[in-house]
Amino acid sequence: MTAPNAEIHIYPGCYHWFLEDNQPEHYKAEAAELAWRRTLEFLGKTLTE
């Protein structure tokens, strides 16, 4: 079951902790930047509605 406005993003080659730059063997800078940007955009839209 998903929410009506749900978005799912898959980051190929990334583990669930790819945002953690203190995990250099798993950190993926490009994916982390994109995920963070998407998170901020989501919060900006969601919290202002």
Query: 30-45 pLDDT, tens per residue?
Result: 999 999 999 999 889 8
Cβ neighbours, 10 Å, residue 20: 12
Which residues contact residue 1 at a Cβ distance below 8 angstroms, ignoring those fewer than 6 apart?
Answer: none
Ordered by start, the domain boundaries in the chain are 13-49
Burial of 9 (0-12, 13-18, 19+ CB in 10 A): exposed
Query: 22-31 pLDDT, tens per residue?
Result: 888 888 999 9
Average pLDDT of the chain, as a whole number:
85
